Structure 1
Amino acid sequence: MVRDIAPLLNNKWSDPAVVVVDSNLNFAIPLLGGHHGANEIARKISELGAIPVLTTATEVHGKPSVEGIADRLNCEIFNKESTVAVNCALLDQEIEVLEVKGPRIVVVDEDVSVLVKRRQENIEVKGDSGNNS
């Protein structure tokens, strides 16, 4: 399995979510991308009877992760390298999520994750006006 997917791997932020399931459908194990969809896929597979084997530290301890918080808030993580330190801190303490409305200049330490809201695309739907002439 690992050798098969090796050519697809680049980095944690762009690698596909990969879940391994044993042949008896006993276990669903996120191999890659736990915080990037694989844990959720394993939970979905558990509806078929498999036990999800989640190994990301935040999941094991029932804590939120920066990646999960970003997804819930419809945000992108601006400084991805910060997530290791912040996820480690989330294991031991409550971390406040602050929302800063601009215009502002924000200066942060390297152990602060910065989440940027995704732009909402306005899609205009034009229907048939009923004129067939």
Structure 2
Amino acid sequence: MTFERNREIATRIAEHLKADLLLYEKGIFKKAFENYGAIIAVFATGIVVRDIAPLLNNKWSDPAVVVVDSNLNFAIPLLGGHHGANEIARKISELGAVPVLTTATEVHGKPSVEGIADRLSCEIFNKESTVAVNCALLDQEIEVLEVKGPRIVVVDEDVSVLVKRRQENIGVKGDSSNNS
């Protein structure tokens, strides 16, 4: 999404990502939050922050948000780095923008619970555990255990539990790769 004056850059990004192009109008961020899993905003960061602040709920339901400056210099994952924004910024870098990644695990070349879950085609059962486990992943190797059932597994609150996705659910809900 963008202002009319930045349409050319926004169009290049939308075509590259096979995404929709939305032009700014009052309430556009609210509409985008309701209808897209990811938003690419060709705006100044301050505009985006002020417009999305009242819409924020939590990292698990908010869309990924990437801010791109109007000269295509930088792609900044503002929300949802582990939930698609970092990957979108990398794809935008193919057009020349520098991806400005600040997600700690990403910056230090470490895996994240969210990334491990995606690679294993799993959902995170106890999402609140990811803060502690992602912090631990920064400092140490964390073993990934696979437990086949039937079993009962009891874990502490700082253990992330991943549940394999059913095949029919893969790539359907929460796929943010084709939205802007």
Q: By the TM > 0.5 criterion, same fold?
A: yes
Moved more, 20-29 or 123-132: 123-132
Distance 1:91 1:130, change over 3 A: closer
Q: Map residues 26-65 of structure 1 onto 2, 5 A cutoff.
A: 26-65=73-112
Alpha-carbon distance change, 7 to 26 in structure 1, aligned in 2, over 3 angstroms: same
Contact 2:64 2:176 in 1 (8 A): no
**1:32 to partner: Cα distance:** 0.3
Q: Deviation of residue 121 (structure 1)?
A: 2.4
Contact between 2:63 and 2:80, CA under 8 Å: does it hold in 1? Answer: yes
Deviation at 1:5, TM superposition (A): 2.3
- Share of identical aligned residues, percent? 96
Deviations 1:54-93 (A, max 9, x none): 0000000000000000011111100001000000000011
Distance, in Å, in 1 between the alignment partners of 2:179 and 2:70 is 58
- Normalised to the residue count of structure 2, the TM-score between the two structures is 0.66
Residues 24 and 102 of structure 1, relative CA distance in 2, 3 Å threshold: same
CA offset at residue 8 of structure 1?
3.5
- In the TM superposition, residue 6 of structure 1 has moved relative to its aligned partner by 3.1
Partner of 2:63, secondary structure, is coil
How many angstroms does 1:122 deviate by?
9.5
Aligned to 1:103: 150
Comparing both chains, which one has the higher relative contact order based on Cα–Cα distances under 8 Å and sequence gaps of 6 or more?
A: 2
After superposition, the CA RMSD in angstroms is 8.7
Contact 2:121 2:170 in 1 (8 A): no
Contact 2:66 2:77 in 1 (8 A): yes
* TM-score, L = length of structure 1: 0.88
* Larger proportion of helix: 2
Deviation at 1:10, TM superposition (A): 1.4
Find the aligned partners of 1:130 and 1:21 in 2 and give their Cα distance. 16
Structure 2: where are the runs of 5+ without partners? 1-47
How far apart, in 2, do the equivalents of 1:24 and 1:129 lie? 24
Alpha-carbon distance in structure 2 between the residues aligned to 1:47 and 1:41: 10
